[in-house]
Amino acid sequence: MSYKIPMGPYHPALEEPYKLDMFCEGETVSDAKLHIGFNFRGIEHLAETRNYIQVIALMERVCGICSNIHTLTLCQAMEQLTGLTPPPRALYIRVIMAELERLHSHVLWAGIAAKLMGFKTMFMTCFALREKVMDVLQVISGNRVNYSMNCIGGVNRDIPDPRAVLAMVEQLEREMVRTVIPIFTTSTTARSRCAGIGVLTHERAISCGVVGPTARASGIAQDLRRAAPYAAYSEFEFNVPVETAGDVRARLLVRALEIMESCGILRQALAKMPPGEWHGGDRKVVFSTGSAVSRVEAPRGEVVYCVSWKENSRNPARVHVRTPTFQNMPAIRWMVMGARLADTPLIQASIDPCYSCTDR
């Protein structure tokens, strides 16, 4: 018997609006259609009405999880148009913030995934750990969600005592190695709930142009920190974890291994932070006419900002944002096809979707 099940717009797993119409044969999903836009905010248009300082604050609100990444990408594009170059210490601070944000995002996702697997203890453990990552972010920036760290030509705050932050990061790393990583890599609960479901084949992943951990779990070794290094990433040693199975477990493993790589990058960055200026100072911000494109590897994958400016204007002429979830989400259709209905909330959550980013 064929029937349609509308899931959403209130998502059963992630409390954000989006709808998936699933066409089922018995308990098996035969096809699906996605609907987004329930909270579309028109931020790209709003950006054209903000000046070069206000637009940074606006774009920080595109996403509540990777807010720092959006201002980093925007500032990098604006730096290309103004010719302002951030000092080396600022580039290190940008890397530290980006990796802390990746940790926070991946641990948050791990908690939600654990909850969907029926592994409530693990959910609590992940969220307790996430609090500690946010404590580090608060120590550095004074904020827990919108950090206001990036500005044109540098960052707004220094990390005056990197050793204190390093001690916090090392403690975090120990707890992750002790709790999160072994459970997600070796536990039979995680394996039985995730292995072989929601498969996105390598060929389909290429065809859909998916990015970030979703791509890397389908055998695509693509990471902008390696392929097109920005900030100070070219100065650090790290691996790009890749899995080939393309299932939910592969996406879980990639993120678990990325948590370890992020800790490694943080240790390197905090240990060898160069001295000197971290802010652009009082240099005058003058935009030249033209366009600039900036890309950053966010926790969910590649974020792209295309920014156009007219000379002597205080406002951008155009800001186009391509978020990773916007690129990854259409692939959900292929992941749920053939899956059991009961597995679909976990499959949908496995791309770590951000509807706030998508409905920008």
Partner 1 sequence: MTTIESIREKLGTAEPWVESGGVRWLATSAPNVRQLAAVMNEAQARFVTITAIELPGVHLYRLEYLWDLDGQLLGFPFVLSGNSIESIHDLCEAVDWIEREVHEGFAVDFPGRDYEPLLLRAGDKLGVNLHQELL
Our finding on whether 201 is near partner 1 (CB under 8 A) is: no
CA angle, residues 123, 351, 16, in degrees to nearest 5: 70
For 344, the token pair is: 């679909």
Nearer to partner 1, 181 or 329 (CB): 329
For 216, the token pair is: 């890397």
Our finding on whether 50 is near partner 1 (CB under 8 A) is: no
Site for partner 1 (CB under 8 A): how many residues? 39
Our finding on whether 178 is near partner 1 (CB under 8 A) is: no
Nearer to partner 1, 7 or 329 (CB): 329
Our finding on whether 291 is near partner 1 (CB under 8 A) is: yes
Pair 325, 353: CB distance under 8 Å: yes
**What does the alpha-carbon distance between residue 324 and residue 1 come to, in Å, rounded to a whole number?**
36
Taking CB under 8 A as the rule, which mask of x and - marks residues 131-150 in contact with partner 1?
--------------------
Nearer to partner 1, 119 or 230 (CB): 230
CB 45 to partner 1: min, Å: 5
Pair 360, 323: CB distance under 8 Å: yes
The Cα-based distances of 104 to 97, 128, 136, 262 in angstroms read 10, 11, 10, 11
Nearer to partner 1, 146 or 308 (CB): 308
Nearer to partner 1, 158 or 235 (CB): 235
Q: Which of 170, 318, 337, 345 binds partner 1 (CB under 8 A)?
A: 318
Peptide bond into 162 cis (omega under 30): no
Residues 206 to 245: which contact partner 1 by CB under 8 A?
Answer: 206-209, 222, 224, 226-228
CB 227 to partner 1: min, Å: 3
**What does the alpha-carbon distance between residue 222 and residue 301 come to, in Å, rounded to a whole number?**
9
Nearer to partner 1, 36 or 159 (CB): 36
Cβ burial of 342 (10 Å; 0-12, 13-18, 19+) is exposed
CB 225 to partner 1: min, Å: 10
Residue 281 backbone zone (phi > 0: left; psi -120 to 50: alpha; other: beta) = left
- Containing H/E element for 27? none
Residues 292 to 311: which contact partner 1 by CB under 8 A?
Answer: 292-295, 302, 304, 306, 308
Residues 64 to 103: which contact partner 1 by CB under 8 A?
Answer: 77, 80-81
For residues 10, 11, 15 and 18, what is the CA-based torsion angle, rounded to 10 degrees? Answer: -70
Beta strands in the chain (DSSP E): 2-7, 19-25, 28-35, 150-151, 154-155, 290-298, 301-309, 316-322
Q: Which of 45, 178, 272, 314 binds partner 1 (CB under 8 A)?
A: 45
Taking CB under 8 A as the rule, which mask of x and - marks residues 2-41 in contact with partner 1?
-------------------------------x-xxx--x-
Our finding on whether 44 is near partner 1 (CB under 8 A) is: yes
**What does the alpha-carbon distance between residue 160 and residue 145 come to, in Å, rounded to a whole number?**
21
Within 13 Å of residue 1, how many CA atoms lie on the same side as its CB? 4
Nearer to partner 1, 137 or 224 (CB): 224
For 301, the token pair is: 């994958």
Q: What string of H, E and C letters represents the secondary structure of 279-298?
A: CCCCCCCCCCCEEEEEEEEE
Nearer to partner 1, 131 or 203 (CB): 203
CB 176 to partner 1: min, Å: 29
Give contact residues for partner 1 (rule: CB under 8 A).
33, 35-37, 40, 42, 44-45, 77, 80-81, 206-209, 222, 224, 226-228, 290-295, 302, 304, 306, 308, 317-318, 320, 322, 326-327, 329-330, 359
